[in-house]
Structures are given as C-alpha cells and as structure tokens.
Amino acid sequence: MRVQLFATCLVDTFFPETGEATVRLLRHFGVEVSYPQGQTCCGKPADSGGYRHESRKAAEHFISIFEGNDDPIVIPSGSCVSMVKNHYPDLFKDDSRMREKAEAIAGRAYELSQFLVNVLKIHEANLSGKGRITYHASCQLTRELGVREEPLLLLQSLKGAELVPLPYADRCCGFGGIFMAKLPEVSMALADEKLDTVLSTGADTVTGCDHGCLMNIADAIRRRGSAVQVKHIAVVLAEGLR
Amino acid sequence: MSTSTQGIPFRTNAAEALRNATLRGAMRNATDTFTIKRADALSGVPVEEWREQASAMRLHVLDNLSDYVDRFEKNAARAGARVHRAKDSQEARERIGSILKDHGIGSVVKSKSMVSEEIHLNNYLETQGVRVVETDLGEYIIQIAGEGPSHIIVPAIHKDRRQVGKLFAEKLGCEYSDDPAVLTRIAKKILREEFLSAKAGISGANFAVADSGSIVLFTNEGNGRMCTTLPPLHIAVLSIEKMIPSLADLPKFIRLLPRSATGQILTSYMSVITGTRKPGESTGAEEMHIVLVDNGRSEIVNGEYREMLKCIRCGACLNACPVYRMVGGHAYGTTYPGPMGIVLTTLLDGMEKANPLLEATTLCGACEDVCPVKVPLPQLLRRLRERRVEEGLTPKLEQTGMAGFGKIVKSPFLFHLGQTAAHFLWPVATKIGPKVALDRLPRPVGKIFGRRVS
C-alpha cells in the first residue's frame, strides 16, 4: 500500500520528530510513504481567520501538490484534515472545476489515527508503551471529523502503558489558531484549565493528534514548571516499535 | 464593561474578568454543573431525533414567518389581547411606555425577558418615571446590583452566594447571610408585596402559538405566573421569531428546552396564556397587550444567517463555550453573550460595533454540539469573520500578514525561506515581536522535516 504524507506546517517547522515517527510507523506496517516536496500549509489559519481569498490560495497549492493519483493522504493533525475534507470543497463552491478537484482530494484525506486503526488496524499489533498516558481530544478531530474512538483504541492497546481518562477531554485547550495570538489571556487561561485536568489524572505524559493544541498545553506546562511530557500520538506509538 | 466607536473592547474586558477570582470560581461552578446536569438529562433519550425534529420545526416557522405572525396576531386579538407591532427597539419601548402612561401606572412587576433587555426597556421606563421590579431572583439580584444579565437564563451566574449576601445586606438592610435559602426567603417576602400591589406586569414569552394566539412561559420560580395573573394589566413583549404553529408542536420544545438549559427534565412552571380573563375565570389579566418586536428580524430571516433565528434561548451554547466559561457574559458588553450572542449581536447591532466579538471564539464547535435546535454556530461565526475581512474591519497589520501568507503559501521556496528565517531570527523576534504570542511557541527548528525525509 502507498500513501502520501502531508506533514503539516507545524510538524515541518517545529516538530520534525513527529513527522519522523509518522514515517517510521507507516513503514513499519508495510506502507510505502511518499513525501511530495513543495508542500506548505493547508491554509487553516487563514480560513478560520475569515481570509477566504488566502485560504483558497493555500487550497489551490495543496491540490496542485497532491493531485494526480489515488493514494490516501495521511496527515498527523485533525484540524488540517478537517480543513481539507470539510472546508476545501466549500472554498470552491462557485467553481465547479476546482470543486471537483477539491472533493477528490477531500476523499483521500485521512487523519493519522483514523488511518492506523481503520485501514492498518495497528491497535491489534501489540505495540508496547510505558508510563501513565492521558489523551486530549482536539476539537476539529472530535467534532468536525467525528474521530473519537480511534486514538483511544491505539493508546489502550499499548502493552505496559496505562491510559488514564482525561476529565472533560474534548474541551477546547484554547489554541484556536490565531485565537492564541489575538486573545492570549483567554488562551492561556484555557490552557491552564486543560493542564489542571491533566495533572488531576496523575499522568506523566499527555498526548493528542494535533500539534497546535499540544503546543498550547506545552506552554502551560512550561509556565507552571510541571514535569508532564507532551508527545504527539505518532511519537508515543513509534516508541513502541522495536 | 464599556463600549466605544471602535467597537466593543473585548480583549480588555476579558483580561479584566480573568483577574477576578470570584467571577471565575462562580463561572466554573455554574457551567460545570449545567454541563453535567444537561448530559444526565439527555442520556437515555433519543436526543438526535428530538434535535432534528425541533430544528425542522423552527426552520418551518422561519420559512413561513410572516404568515405565522399574522395568524398569531389575529388569534391573540380574538382571545382579547391587543397586539402591537414594533419595527425596532425604540418603537417597542415607547409603545410599552405609552400603555403604562395611559393607565397612569408608575410601578410594574416584571418576569425575566431577554428581549426586554435587547430593547433596553427598564432604563427607558425608569426615565419615564416608572419603577420596574424584576421578580426572577437572578434578575432581582442584578437589578439591585445595578448590572445587566451575564447569562441569558442565569442572569446572576457571575456572582457567588457571599457576594449576594453582602449585596442584600447593603441594599436591603437585612442581616448578612450567605445561605441561599435565607436569601431567597428575604427576596420572596419583598417580591410578594410587589406582586400583590402591582397594577401591571410585564413578561416575555418563550413561545407564541399562532393557532391559538397564546403565549407560553417557562419559569422555575413561579414569578412569571404571578406577574401575568395577579395585576389587572399584562404586557407581553416578544420577538417575532418565537412563533410555533400550534400547541401540538409545543412538546417538541417542552422536552428539549429545560434539559438543554438547566438539565431539568421539565421546567417547574409552564404557563400558557391565551388572551384576557374570561367571564367565570378566577385568574388572569383583565387587559393584555402583546408587543411583537421585529428589530431587523424580518430581514435576517431572508438572509444567509437566518438559522440564527431558530435559537430558543436555552443558553446551552454559553455553558459549553470555552471563552464564555472563562470570562462570563459582561465581557461581551452586549445583551446576548456567548456564541449565540456574538452572532445575534453582529446581526442586530451591526458589524462595526460587534466585530471585536468575532475574536471571542476558538471555533471549537462545542456550541453546535449542544444546541437543541442545531443552529450551525461555528459556520455562522466563520462566515461573519469572512464578512468582517471583506468589509476591511480586521487590523491592518493582520491584513498585511495574511496577504503575505497568501503569497508565501503557494511558493515552497518562499515558505522554506520563511521557516529558515524564523529559526535564525527567533531570538530577536521574541524580543521585539508580539510577545504574548511568540513567547508561547517553541523555536522553529534549523532543519525542517521536509529536508530530513526521503
């Protein structure tokens, strides 16, 4: 099986280890991973800011990089997948040619945990893990894509690790893209609230499927001086590969 | 809370609210409790089916709104009420003022009504020399505190019992207590006297039944029933979209509204009021006026934001909203706060004034999840953000930045150049850039992932 990887601009710029973990995981399970060079950003920041013209530019570029085959596009971020799946077709609602292309791309997009569980079934692969892990359910992943169970199935399957439920797991962490820059006080208060729930679980690691949220939570941890580790789910899973 | 010609200073208001530990504690307690009670009340019922039916009913009403308003008007008049149509807030409050003046009434009891807040009725009546007594306990608390509601169904949600105790001791001259039962008894005693002596009562309405000309009130304290049955004159003020076709449609909302609002299976009191007191009846007003407020809704219902008018004012989206939960309602500086408030305020008051509120959402979607009538709030918020950009109302620096993004995002060369520059310039950028944002991000890596992968 072949897939194309869209790493996301956050992984590309800030968290290359998550990209590497994603590639290792997919290859370990026999998937041929190609990384189309020239990929940039899905356009989500412009889209949620209301900059339709600019998000269309991003979508056009994304489509031009990924079109031309039928391989699944695997993306380690719920919000980027939601952008591609739910918003791209809407951006071209008045342009039937582009809309068709956008719909074809949308049909190929998978969020990583979705792909790992529903296509590769790696939750049945006896991966190992360690420590007490808790999971933050990011907003677009949960509510726009409806991916609720897949990350939990993966984390529960890790031998040697304990998954502890996070209270109010699907409450927003306060990242919200440019929201974090425009209302930083509110954003930090929400990240602090999220961290309080993380600490209440006694977990040593908090994980999730979106680096935006994880970055915001990591900042709350840094400000608090807490020792809790923040890892993308790809990293947690890849650590269990021998 | 303040407003200016530049629009509502939400960020300043929010930062101020976040420094208020009492407010944050009260907000956390109340919204957590409502969240849990709502989930309990909706477990084991076919909630999706109910929401679907309620939403379809509201859409049907909006599709035929002017017909239903006409039918309601005719049937309410037949039942003995006098129906007035007000095109805006000013017309509505002046009409109510003149009805009271015609009867020489200088004091009214009032049950909770958000549309009366929308039209700023109390302030107006006070300037006309009419004393207004709010009789919902929460409304009574904020009235004597000189504040507006901070939640559409729990007006004093931002206060804890110690604050209420102090307020009562100070304003009512009673002994300090922070026992809710004691405080309620104090208010009840005062309000009972008001009910018994009032010559007029003002209420809102949760629904208006087109086929019977009835108005329907949901309350928890029984004060609505007192306001509408004890005084000889009753004035109901409601916005036109409150219509439902017939009483047979009411159960769709009886089962959803209290569950969504407070997590109650049923509201404590539901009153269906059809016109004036008839011969042989023992209760009810002898004279009833119904003021139907339009305030732009006839236009909204024909536009792309029409689904906002499906809203039945349960407040569930407020309790679910991360921003609202943190800062409370007053930070919005508007009648209606939270997700529904941002959308409705922008539609009612205009983009110019309301546009800073469009920042007050992470677009997390929790509001849409809990909405009993499936108002697509995140989509409406996103669309309003697009309109704000189209109207050039976003900050100039942001416009420049986004225009740059639009160019860089389609050029891998420029994009990677930007990433490299960010890595090297980061120490400088965090010193001179927008600190509260950049400080919270890690430093961009030297060798991006795209150059490591093969």
Q: DSSP of B207-268, one letter per residue?
A: EEETTTTEEEEEESSSHHHHHHHSSSEEEEEEEGGGEES-GGGTHHHHTTHHHHHTS-SS-S
Bridge pairing between strands A229-232 and A205-208 = parallel
Same domain, yes or no, for A135 and A232? yes
Question: How distant is the Cα of B332 from the closest Cα of chain A, in angstroms?
Answer: 13
Q: What integer pLDDT is reported at residue B431 of this predicted model?
A: 85
A227 shares a domain with A131: yes
The verdict on a CB contact (< 8 Å) between A58 and B410 is: yes
Same domain for A138 and A107, yes or no, is no
Adjacent-strand bridge partners of A109: A73
Interface test with B, best of A10, A11, A54 (most B CBs within 10 A): A54
Q: What is the mean pLDDT of residues A180-209?
A: 97
Q: What is the distance, to the nearest Å, from the Cα of residue B268 to the centroid of all Cα atoms in its chain? A: 21
- Statement to judge: residues A104 and A141 lie in one domain: no
pLDDT of residue B2: 39
Is residue A107 domain-shared with residue A137, that is, in the same domain? no
B402 at A interface, C-beta within 8 A: yes
- Quick one: what percent of chain A has pLDDT higher than 70? 100
Q: Is B148 exposed, middle or buried (0-12, 13-18, 19+ CB in 10 A)?
A: buried
In this predicted structure, what is the pLDDT of residue B433? 73
Given this model, what pLDDT does residue B194 score?
A: 96
Q: How far is CA B340 from CA B214, B347, B357, in A?
A: 26, 11, 11
Nearest Cα neighbor of B218 from B269, B149, B156 is: B269
Which is it for strands B287-293 and B81-86: parallel, antiparallel or unpaired? parallel
CB spacing of A39 vs B14 below 8 angstroms:
no
Q: Distance of CA A116 to CAs A3, A33, A35, A144, A210, Å?
A: 12, 13, 18, 19, 15
The per-residue b/e assignment along B293-328, b for 16 or more CB within 10 angstroms, e otherwise, is bbbbbeebbeeebbbbbbbbbbbbbbbbbbbbbbbb
Best to test chain B binding among A10, A47, A51, A79 (most B CBs inside 10 Å):
A51
> Closest partner residue to A50 among B18, B382, B415, by Cβ?
B382
> Are A111 and A160 members of one domain?
no
* Residue A185 to residues A218, B232, B359, B436, B454, Cα–Cα distance (Å): 16, 51, 12, 8, 41
Q: How many domains does chain A have?
A: 2
- pLDDT, position B311: 98
B363 in contact with chain A, both atoms CB, cutoff 8 A? yes
Shared domain check, A77 and A39:
yes
Q: Is residue A160 left, alpha or beta, with left meaning phi > 0 and alpha meaning psi from -120 to 50?
A: left
Give the ipTM of the model, two decimals please. 0.96
Last residue of a domain, one of A50, A84, A117: A117
A196 and A180 fall within a common domain: yes
Residue A158: pLDDT over 60: yes
> In chain A, what are the helix, strand and coil shares in percent, each to the nearest 5?
55, 15, 30
Q: Which of A117, A140, A167 is the last residue in one of the domains? A: A117
- Which residue of chain B has the CA closest to A18? B449
pLDDT of residue B309: 98
CB-based contacts of B110: which residues, under 8 Å, 6+ apart?
B116, B122, B132, B133, B134, B135, B139, B201, B202, B203, B227
Residues A77, A153, single domain; the answer is no
Helix (H) or strand (E) holding A207, with range, is strand A205-208
Query: Do B246 and B71 touch, CB atoms closer than 8 A?
Result: no
Closest CA to A39 of A68, A7, A76: A7
Whole-angstrom Cα distance, residue B132 to residue B142? Answer: 13
Q: By C-alpha distance, which of A209, A186, A197, A195 is closest to A137?
A: A209
DSSP B351: H
Residues A145 and A72 in one domain: no
User: Best interface-test mutation with B: which of A47, A144, A172, A217 has the largest number of B CBs within 10 A?
Assistant: A172
Mutate to test the interface with A, among B13, B351, B364 (most CBs of A within 10 A): B364
Determine the Cα–Cα distance for residues B215 and B72; give it in Å rounded to an integer. 9
Q: Mark whether A7 and A112 lie in a shared domain.
A: yes
Residue B71 is predicted with a pLDDT of 98
CA angle B224, B227, B228 (to 5 degrees): 85
- The CATH T-level fold of domain B46-298 is Rossmann fold (3.40.50)
CA–CA separation, B363 vs B317, rounded Å? Answer: 12
| CA pair distance A183, A172, nearest whole angstrom | 14
Between chain A and chain B, the number of residue pairs with CB atoms below 8 A apart is 171
Q: Answer yes or no: do A234 and A140 share one domain.
A: yes
Q: What is the pLDDT of residue B451?
A: 87
Q: Å from A185 to nearest chain B CA?
A: 6
- 60-99 in B: which are within 8 Å (CB) of A? none
Cα–chain-centroid distance for residue A100? 25
Residue A226: which CATH number?
A: 3.40.50.2300
If you search the block for the tokens 């309080």, which residue do you land on? A196
Residues 6+ apart with CB under 8 A from B300: B306, B308, B309, B347
C-alpha span between A131 and A133 (Å, rounded): 6
Residue A202 has pLDDT above 60, yes or no: yes
The last residue of one of the domains, among A117, A152, A186, is A117
Return residues 298-327 of B near A (CB < 8 Å): 322-323, 326-327
Closest CA to A84 of A23, A39, A34, A129: A39
pLDDT at residue A196, rounded to an integer: 98
- Within 13 Å of residue A106, how many CA atoms lie on the same side as its CB? 19
Closest CA to B32 of B312, B267, B326, B258: B326
Distance (Å, whole) CA B440 – CA A154: 29
Encode chain B (454 residues) as per-residue pLDDT tens digits.
433 446 899 999 999 999 999 999 999 999 999 999 999 999 999 999 999 999 999 999 999 999 999 999 999 999 999 999 999 999 999 999 999 999 999 999 999 999 999 999 999 999 999 999 999 999 999 999 999 999 999 999 999 999 999 999 999 999 999 999 999 999 999 999 999 999 999 999 999 999 999 999 999 999 999 999 999 999 999 999 999 999 999 999 999 999 999 999 999 999 999 999 999 998 899 999 999 999 999 999 999 999 999 999 999 999 999 999 999 999 999 999 999 999 999 999 999 999 999 999 999 999 999 999 999 999 999 999 999 999 999 999 999 999 999 999 999 999 999 999 999 999 888 888 776 778 889 999 988 998 888 6
Structural domain of residue A93, as residue ranges? 2-117
B322: chain A residues, CB-CB within 8 Å:
171-172, 174, 190
Nearest CB among A19, A53, A193 relative to B406 is that of A53
